Chain A
Amino acid sequence: MTLDVLYFAWLRERIGQPRERIETDAATVRDLVAELAAKDEWHAAAFSDMSAVRCAVDQQLAELDTSLNEVREVAFFPPMTGG
């Protein structure tokens, strides 16, 4: 499947781009992270500490075990600091 992957805040800086379109068979967010982290050293650095990474699947807050079935967009970002 084709997936848009978005990055925000320091994940965007570490990876060096705000979004990328990828082809993947990842079943869950966790599988996708493993795939992305294996791409290059920048992705590896961004995903080195998953306790500092949050995610959204099709713009809904999600967990590492969230399924990617029929999903089009996944976003990774640090813990949110609104307000």
Chain B
Amino acid sequence: MSAHVQTAPFDLAAELRGFGKGAGAVVTFSGVVRDDTGQMTGLEIEHYPGMTERILNDYGQQAASRFKLTDWRILHRHGRLAVGEQIMMVATAARHRRAAFDSADYLMDWLKSRAPFWKRELSADGGGTWVDARDSDETSLKRW
């Protein structure tokens, strides 16, 4: 049961070793840098040191109590990431699949719109464009 923020890449399999031992269901989600325009070289992710770690822990604990999780893990990177690199992962473990799926979905909705990260798309000419928040992410969060 932990949340981490780091610049270094991570190995999903290594992160999940020993995770959720004894659970009946484990769900993992990982977000990957994608390029929809063909013009992007990567992402730069800024965050709020101190607040980020605390708030990710809060969301993890809220999910654990609401969905009766037996284990959870959140890992989110910041700094410069190339297209195709993993940005973050969420893993949840519960007795049954519904709680594991729903809690991963719940955590992703909170991370998308209520965790202090800001993405900037980097282009080949060295410029960057801040990514706008999506209305659909806000709508998605209201489900909970």
Contact = CB atoms under 8 A, between A and B. Distances in A.
A77 B118 contact: yes
A81 B118 contact: yes
B111 A8 contact: no
Contact of B51 (A9, A56, A82, A83): A56
Contact of A79 (B50, B55, B88, B113): B113
B35 interface: no
Contact of A56 (B31, B46, B48, B132): B48
Interface of B is mostly: mixed
Interface in A25-73: 56, 59, 61
Which of A77, A78, A83 has the most CB atoms of chain B within a 10 A radius of its CB?
Answer: A83
B114 A59 contact: no
B76 interface: yes
Interface string B105-144: 0001001111111111000000000111100000000000
Interface string A1-25: 0000010111000000000000000
Interface of B: 31, 46, 48, 50-51, 54-55, 76, 87-88, 108, 111-120, 130-133
Closest 9 CB pairs of A and B: A79-B133, A82-B117, A9-B118, A59-B51, A83-B112, A82-B115, A83-B111, A82-B111, A81-B119
